[in-house]
Structure 1
Amino acid sequence: MKKAGALGLGAVLALVLLIGAAWFLSGWWGAADVEEDTNFIVPSGSTLTAVAAKLEDEGLIASADSFLLRAKLFGSGDPIKAGEFLLPAGASPATILDTFQNGEVINRFVTVPEGLPSIMVYERLMAEDLLTGEIPVPAEGSVLPDTYSFERGETRAAVLARMQAAMQNYLAEAWPKRGPDIAVDNIKDAVILASIVEKETGVARERKMVAGLYSNRVKDGMLLQADPTIIYPITKGKPLGRRIRQSEIAAINDYNTYTMVGLPKGPITNPGRESIAAVLNPAKTTARYMVADGTGGHAFAETLDEHNRNVAKWFELRRQRGEM
Structure 2
Amino acid sequence: MWRHIAANALTFFTVALFLIAGLVTWGVSEYSATGPLKEPVCLRVPSGTTMRAVSNDLASQGAILSPAIFRLGADYAAKTDDLKQGSFLIPQGASMEEITDIVTRGGANTCGTEVVYRIGVNRTLAEVRDLDPATGDFVKKAEFEPLGDTVVPTAYEEVRAQPDTTYRIVVAEGVTSWQIVQALNGLDVLEGDVAEVPAEGMLAPDSYPIQPGNSVATLVEQMLISQERILAEAWDQRAADLPFESPQEALTLASIVEKETAIAEERPLVASVLVNRVRDGMRLQFDPTIIYGITRGQGLLDRPIRESDIAGTTERELHGDVLYNTYVVDGLPAGPIANPGRAAIEAAVNPASTDYLYFVADGSGGHAFASTLEEHNRNVARWREIEAERAAQADPEAQAIAE
1:118 maps to 2:177:
yes
User: Take 1:38 and 1:152, find their aligned partners in 2: how far apart are those partners?
Assistant: 17
- TM-score, normalised to structure 2's length? 0.54
User: Take 1:218 and 1:260, find their aligned partners in 2: how far apart are those partners?
Assistant: 12
1:244 maps to 2:313:
no
Stretches of structure 2 that go unaligned for 5 or more consecutive residues are 1-43, 49-80, 88-103, 109-163, 317-321, 396-403
1:216 aligned residue: 276
Q: CA-atom RMSD, angstroms?
A: 2.7
1:276 aligned residue: 345
Cα drift, residue 272 of structure 1: 0.4
Cα drift, residue 103 of structure 1: 5.4
User: Take 2:107 and 2:365, find their aligned partners in 1: how far apart are those partners?
Assistant: 43
Cα drift, residue 304 of structure 1: 1.0
**Count of aligned pairs between the two proteins:** 236
Cα drift, residue 182 of structure 1: 1.5
Alignment partner of 2:168: what SS?
strand
Cα drift, residue 234 of structure 1: 2.3
Alignment partner of 1:321: what SS?
helix
2:381 aligned residue: 312
The percentage of counterpart residues that share the same residue type is: 47
User: Take 2:266 and 2:355, find their aligned partners in 1: how far apart are those partners?
Assistant: 15
1:257 aligned residue: 326
1:235 maps to 2:295:
yes
| Alignment CA distance shift 1:176-1:104 (3 Å) | closer
2:214 aligned residue: 154
What do residues 204-249 of structure 1 show as CA deviations (whole Å, max 9, x unaligned)?
Answer: 1100000001000011111100100000122334442332111101
| Alignment CA distance shift 1:38-1:197 (3 Å) | same
1:176 maps to 2:232:
no
Aligned residue type for 1:108: Y
User: Take 2:356 and 2:107, find their aligned partners in 1: how far apart are those partners?
Assistant: 52
Alignment partner of 1:291: what SS?
strand
User: Take 2:192 and 2:253, find their aligned partners in 1: how far apart are those partners?
Assistant: 33
- Higher RCO (C-alpha under 8 Å, 6+ residues apart): 1
Say which of 137, 154, 176 aligns to 2:197. 137
Alignment partner of 2:219: what SS?
helix
What do residues 109-154 of structure 1 show as CA deviations (whole Å, max 9, x unaligned)?
Answer: 1111111111211122112211111112222101111001122111
Cα drift, residue 203 of structure 1: 1.2
Cα drift, residue 39 of structure 1: 7.7
2:154 aligned residue: none
Aligned residue type for 2:177: S
Alignment partner of 2:391: what SS?
coil
Say which of 352, 356, 369 aligns to 1:287. 356
User: Take 2:197 and 2:47, find their aligned partners in 1: how far apart are those partners?
Assistant: 31
5 Å matches for 1:94-109? 104=107, 107-109=166-168
1:193 maps to 2:253:
yes
- TM-score, normalised to structure 1's length? 0.67
User: Take 2:169 and 2:197, find their aligned partners in 1: how far apart are those partners?
Assistant: 16
Stretches of structure 1 that go unaligned for 5 or more consecutive residues are 1-35, 41-77, 79-84, 88-100
Aligned residue type for 2:217: A
Aligned residue type for 1:127: G
2:186 aligned residue: 127
Select between 222-231 and 309-318 the one with higher mean Cα deviation. 309-318
1:163 aligned residue: 223
1:15 aligned residue: none
| Alignment CA distance shift 1:224-1:130 (3 Å) | same
What do residues 29-65 of structure 1 show as CA deviations (whole Å, max 9, x unaligned)?
Answer: xxxxxxx98789xxxxxxxxxxxxxxxxxxxxxxxxx
User: Take 1:233 and 1:119, find their aligned partners in 2: how far apart are those partners?
Assistant: 14
